[in-house]
Amino acid sequence: MGGNATTPAMAATRDGYGNALLKIGSDTNIVVLDAGVSDSTRTNKFAEKWPERFFNMGISEGDMVCTAAGLAKCGKTAFATSFICFLLGRSMDQILVSVAYSDSNVKIIGTHAGLAIGEDGPTAQAIGDVSYMRAMPNFIVICPADVVEAEKATLAVAKRKGPAYLRLGRPAVKTIYDDSYKFEIGKASVVAEGNDAAIIASGIMVQESMAAAEILRKEGVNVRVINMSTIKPLDRKAVAEAAKTGAIVTAEDHNIYGGLGSAVAEVIAEEGLNVKFGMMGVKDRFAESDTQKVLFKKYGLDAEAIAAAVRKAVVAKK
């Protein structure tokens, strides 16, 4: 699954988004909007090549979302892009009414997710966005694990009519997949095999979970790692298969309320699955400004913390 000659060893998921826009940009129905942060969101690549279909809306996120919805109603596939904290924080009414309720062909692309943005501080560390967008009718929610998956997820939502939310990160992360990877909306991907327990993760936490699995493997505990990049609709079959290990731990750079962990817990409860279960994520508190490494360790998001949670679940199932 690792990278090949055409895939970088490390890159940010936002880079995958920028790459995908270049691949689909020759389609004159594609339009891209940005709220004045195009260098950071990587929409600048599209802007340079097709300036007539790029709209820099400035610090006006609500206007951007409504403009995107209007363009969608004229037959365009509209990508509305900004940092998550601004895009959702200032536009929830517009997203609800003009995109979700209207079932508009608008793709809401949020970058700079979670505590992983580190030094930008708690007001910019988006930790509630998945819960917002999961609760929004008509939306799908995708949180890619690496640059390859981010590119392929962007291509997939461009083909699919209707609202979509992509959650992308700022830091460069290890590339898990190569160009042969086939992304499918609503389909999880097993990135490490094991039958003693399962970690279900999304986004940057797939990297941490793979590191946790390696720690545990040296202790004789074989852990399956599942990349649940589509959080809505969730791959219920993958959860059921993971439950056969007897222990599931979810891992997300997001509040433990309303995100991936909650979605998996809903499936476990609804299906009556007999499994020990734990959730790793931000435990309903704000962080502070510091490096990603420091914050992940302090708030229990690093590989060691995930490994400890899996050990606890494995003991409990016995």
Q: Which two tokens stand for residue 283?
A: 């435990």
Q: Please give the distance of CA 13 from its chain centroid, rounded to a whole number.
A: 9
Place of tokens 């690496």: 146
Q: Which two tokens stand for residue 318?
A: 């016995």
Give the contacts of 254 (CB within 8 A, at least 6 positions apart): 113, 114, 127, 128, 129, 130, 131, 260, 281, 282
Reduce the secondary structure of 71-127 to three states and give it as a string: HHHCCCEEEEEEEHHHHCCCCHHHHHHHHHHCCCCEEEEEECECHHHHHHCCCCCEC
Reduced to 3 states (helix: H, G, I; strand: E, B; else coil), residue 173 is strand
Catalytic residue among 52, 61, 214, 266: 61
Catalytic, 61? Answer yes
Q: Which two tokens stand for residue 71?
A: 């363009």
- Residues known to be catalytic: 61
